Structure 1
Amino acid sequence: MEQNVKSNKRTGWFWETKISNISLPLYLIMVVVLIVVMALGKLPTSMMGPIAVLVILGNLFHFIGNRLPIIKDYLGGGSVFAIFASAALATFGILPHEVVESTKNFVGGMGFLDFYIAALIAGSILGMNRDLLIKASVRFIPVALISMVASFFAVGLVGALIGNGFGNSVLYISMPAMAGGVGAGAVPLSSIYAHALHGDASQIISRLIPATAMTNVLAIIGAALVSRLGKSVPKLNGEGKMMAKGDLGDVETTEVKPDIQQLGVGLLVAITFFLLGQIGNYFVPKVHAYAFIIIFVFICKVGNLLPKYYENAATMFNQLIVKNLTAAVLAGIGIALLNLNVLANAFTWQFVVLCLTSVLTISLVAGFVGKLFGLYPIEAAIAAGFCNNSMGGTGNVAVLSASDRMGLIAFAQMGNRLGGALVLIISGFLIQLFS
């Protein structure tokens, strides 16, 4: 008699779900191990301890945030949830004090954020298609920059009219909204402000992140509404193409395949650009080192100064860091840099009005000016407008997903990086002017 052989493979949601490509049961065991180590007071204060906390908790919160209703669709998903959930653990004393302090030291004092940002900037710009970068500089970039300038002054003027002050409004609403997200935007912006004011970056970033998060939410909702409006006005709608003529909308960036040795080369390329940024900052202290990194990388890309092998290496290393450490960085921002008590005090009616002013102005101006430059107004409003008030890469994905325009991701990234670079460059001057 033939016996039926039962498979030992477990099936079902619990067994098949993965967090950071690790099965849920195994990941939960990792979380339990981390909790036990912290409860026993045996978590190392060296880099190993904070890395364990940030990677394990960051990926867990990012996973949860991407599956919670409303949050995943309108409030930034896992990225925002990872920041605020981690901040809550630190603010309400759920994490042991020594764990919070060692994490703060790792994120700030030991330069974990510097490492992440250097990889992000070098790889994202060098990974762009050079032809796209050059062609876009003729039409798309002017549209994006004009829209940002218009939004900057609109926020400042409205802020002055409602009693919030021109300088305070542009520094803590307009600038963080247009800086290109948290990791490459609000974080370096807080460092620039802290350096100029001789203050605490954690207090400053708690004033910057609310504007970044709120404008991101408004941009996602706005892009979805504009996309629906475009269906009833075909002349304004490119259906994902930036231009009616030419191949500006047809050029896409490519993703390189990982190579172990080349990843090491990419690390060295990113570090070298970081060091060049430090040299630039030495000679021109008022311009932040991050801004110099962007400038040097941009010059190398447009000038075709680096062989393709090294560009691919930087892009490859960027992909490695972004895919594996972004959630950890977001958790680090929440634990080390976000003060929820300061955050709660930011939500006033003036704050909401100014965030609305930023998003409405940048999108309307982008659509209007984009049409003058030969772009489809709907696409221009989304890629040069809403995306420049989103939370960087994850915000771009959310905005473009909501508007069904994922083909514009390269333009959105370019607008964030170049526009964000401009914000970082001038922020050092503005903080001294208005402080």
Structure 2
Amino acid sequence: MSEKSSNLKDIQADKEKTGFWSIKISGISLPMYLIMLVILIVSIKLGKLPGGILGSLAVLVLLGNLFHYIGNHLPIFKSYLGGGAVFCIFASALIATFGILPAGPVKTVTSFVNDAGFLDFYIAALITGSILGMKRDLLLKASVRFIPVAFISMAASLLMVGFVGMLIGHGFGKSVLYVSLPMMAGGIGAGCVPLSGIYASALGKHSSDIISQLIPASALGNVLAIIGAALISKIGAHFPKYNGYGAIMKADNVETKDEKRELKLDVIQMGVGLLVSVSFFMLGNILNYFVPHVHAYAFMIIIVVICKVTNIIPKYYEDCAIMFNSLIMKNLTPAVLSAIGIALLNLNVLAQSLNWQFIVLCFTSILTISIVSGFIGKLFGLYPVESMITAGLCNNSMGGTGNVAVLSASNRMELIAFAQMGNRLGGAIVLILGSFLIRILK
């Protein structure tokens, strides 16, 4: 009888451990996580937050994982607004914009993101691992289909934005130059900044007078692309015929000798994967030195694709890159999303430009590029859901960081290579196109 009573008490104790005590955030129990947050808060309050990588990662990892967890459990957010990815970005932007996170940590994080290359580190790992982890034949077949889909979708979006701009009294030229092109230029650093220089040179103005007119379109386009990707992913789940669930096209008639292998994680190989990813990124930067108008990411993608297609990288090093990609993606994605919110998304700048015409044009761009990329993608043999997200919405995002947010919101991070391919090649074409159109439409 006493043994039975003891068992009942054990069962009751187990039930009591559910709820608060059972919650885990990124593998850490909630009580322990709260202790770590308290340590972070006290460090910030006392002005003792370490500088550089240590303090930045403390802020980004702890806040990023917390916001990501909350967003994934909020009823409306988790179902319709992108869940943890979107919540993480906007919660981080809010605490930075309204001073909840003090200026010191914001400055530390911003410097870490913009000057120390944190996002380059993350994106380099994803590009290398995702491409080397793909089937060779599938990569070839998908690439020759994907690039035309992306370019056709961008052209359709540009024309539709100009046409709608005419209808609502905003003007064809102004709508194309200051809404459509900056949304498709590939972000701020690689897109709006050089585009503002191109416009300034043609108009005889200073680029600082132009860039403030370009950033709002890029920022709002990025926000709409993130939310749109989450909704498309959610709706697409009800149409399995049109959904690749992370695969950009069917693997029919593709050689199976390169099937995905189960990898036994190895600490040494992860370190090797780090060096492989960094080496590819440095190669991209070397080529960018000689051809500065083409982004280093674009060169990096081309080099990794060539290495994969020609099979010149031994399987051992491919596995290393895949392992490192997995390590980075699983552990640093919420931190990267938080970094985007704190360092790159200024809600004040975004709010100042929100008139009804501007909003209508941004929505027009998002809707057009999504619909056209889905339809054309289907014709070219791509899954419409994946085509809409990568060839469409990622080309209305803020470059590499925007691609990460869009793909994270739609749970399709394995498509980062295609997103970057369209974004960087398309962004380069936008800059060339902008140099002609500013003289015609000004």
Aligned residues: 408
Gaps of 5+ in 2: 201-206, 395-401
Distance 1:431 1:339, change over 3 A: farther
Equivalent in the alignment of 1:209: 219
1:389 corresponds to which residue? Answer: 393
**TM-aligned CA distance change 1:420 to 1:332, over 3 Å:** same
| 8 A Cα contact 2:128 2:325, kept in partner | yes
Which amino acid in structure 1 is aligned with residue 101 of structure 2? Answer: L
The whole-number CA distance in structure 2 between the counterparts of 1:71 and 1:56 is 20
Deviation at 1:383, TM superposition (A): 2.1
Check whether the contact 2:79–2:234 (CA below 8 A) recurs between aligned residues: no
Q: TM-score, normalised by structure 2?
A: 0.79
SS of match in other structure, 1:70: helix
Which shows bigger deviation, 132-141 or 310-319?
132-141
Q: Does the Cα contact within 8 Å between 1:19 and 1:63 map onto a contact in 2? A: yes
TM-score by length of 1: 0.80
Q: How does 1:254-293 map to 2 (within 5 A)?
A: 256-293=263-300
Report deviation, 1:152. 3.8
Contact 1:243 1:249 in 2 (8 A): no
* % identity of equivalent residues: 50
CA distance in 1, matches of 2:278, 2:429: 24
Distance 2:319 2:153 in 1: 32
CA contact (8 A) 2:56 2:108 kept: yes
Q: Give the alignment of 1:298-377 within 5 angstroms.
A: 298-370=305-377, 372-373=379-380, 375=381
Cα distance, 1:140 vs. partner? 5.1
Give the alignment partner of residue 126 of structure 1, picking from 129, 132, 136.
Answer: 132
For residues 8-47 of structure 1, the aligned pairs below 5 Å read: 11-47=17-53
SS in 1 for 2:52: coil
Letter aligned with residue 350 of structure 1: Q
Tell me if the contact between 1:127 and 1:311 (Cα under 8 Å) persists in the aligned partners.
yes
Q: Could you say what the CA RMSD is over the residues aligned between the two structures, in angstroms?
A: 3.6
Corresponding residue number in structure 1 for 2:398: none
Shift of 1:57: 0.6
CA distance in 1, matches of 2:59, 2:2: 52
Deviates more, 1:390-399 or 1:211-220: 390-399
Match of 1:420 in 2: 423
- After superposition, the Cα gap between the structure-2 partners of 1:154 and 1:70, relative to the gap in structure 1 and judged at 3 Å, is same
Which residue identity does 2:419 align to in structure 1? Answer: N
Q: What SS does the corresponding residue of 1:208 show, helix, strand or coil?
A: helix
Decide which moves more: 382-391 or 208-217: 382-391
Superposition deviation, residue 129 in structure 1:
1.5
Q: Which amino acid aligns with 1:422?
A: L
Rounded Cα–Cα distance in structure 2 between residues aligned with 1:249 and 1:73: 37
Q: Confirm or deny: 8 A CA contact 1:291 1:424 kept in the other structure.
A: no
Shift of the alpha carbon at 1:137?
3.6
| CA spacing shift, 1:263–1:293, aligned 2, 3 Å | same
In the alignment, is the contact (CA less than 8 A) between 1:126 and 1:311 conserved in 2?
yes
Give the C-alpha shift of residue 63 in structure 1. Answer: 0.8
SS in 2 for 1:165: helix
Matched, 1:295 2:302: yes
Q: CA deviation at 1:132?
A: 0.9
Matched-pair contact (CA < 8 Å) for 1:277–1:293 = yes
Secondary structure in 2 matching 1:95: coil
Query: Structure 1 residues 386-395 or 47-56, which shifts more?
Result: 386-395
CA distance in 1, matches of 2:254, 2:177: 37
Task: Say whether residues 1:92 and 2:102 are aligned partners.
Answer: no
Indicate how the Cα distance of structure 1 residues 188 and 35 shifts in structure 2: closer, same or farther if over 3 A, else same.
farther
- In structure 2, what residue type is equivalent to 1:210? L
8 Å CA contact 2:165–2:175 kept in 1: the answer is yes
Residue of structure 2 equivalent to 1:403 = none
Counterpart Cα distance in 2 of 1:331 and 1:319: 19
- Structure 1 CA distance for aligned equivalents of residues 409 and 120 of structure 2: 25
Query: Aligned equivalents of 1:238 and 1:334: distance in 2?
Result: 32
In structure 2, distance between residues paired with 1:97 and 1:393: 26
Deviations 1:175-210 (A, max 9, x none): 4xxx5xxxxx6775467668878769x977665232
Matched, 1:167 2:177: yes
Amino acid at match of 1:46: G
Q: Which residue identity lines up with residue 321 of structure 2 in the other structure?
A: A
Structure 1 segment 117-196 matched on structure 2, within 5 A: 117-139=123-145, 141-159=147-165, 162=168, 163=170, 164-175=174-185, 189=191
Asked if 1:110 corresponds to 2:125, the answer is: no
1:57 aligns with 2:63: yes
Q: Which moved more, 1:335-344 or 1:6-15?
A: 6-15
Closer/same/farther in 2, CA of residues 268 and 35 from structure 1, 3 Å limit: same
1:20 maps to amino acid: S
How much has 1:100 moved relative to structure 2? 1.4
Secondary structure, counterpart of 2:124 in structure 1: helix
| Contact kept in structure 1, 2:284 and 2:300, CA below 8 Å | yes
**Contact 2:49–2:105 under 8 Å retained in 1:** yes
In structure 2, the residue matched to 1:72 is 78
Residues 70 and 298 (structure 1), Cα distance of their counterparts in 2 relative to 1, 3 Å cut: same
Q: Secondary structure at the match of 2:51?
A: coil
Could you tell which deviates more after superposition, 23-32 or 134-143? Answer: 134-143
The 3 A distance-change label for structure 1 pair 370 and 30 is closer
Q: Is the 8 A contact 2:298 2:421 kept in 1?
A: no
Distance 1:153 1:299, change over 3 A: farther
For the 8 Å contact 2:378–2:384, the answer to whether it is kept is no
Using the TM superposition, give the Cα deviation of residue 226 of structure 1 relative to its aligned residue in structure 2, in angstroms: 6.8
Q: Residue 178 of structure 2 aligns to which amino acid in structure 1?
A: N
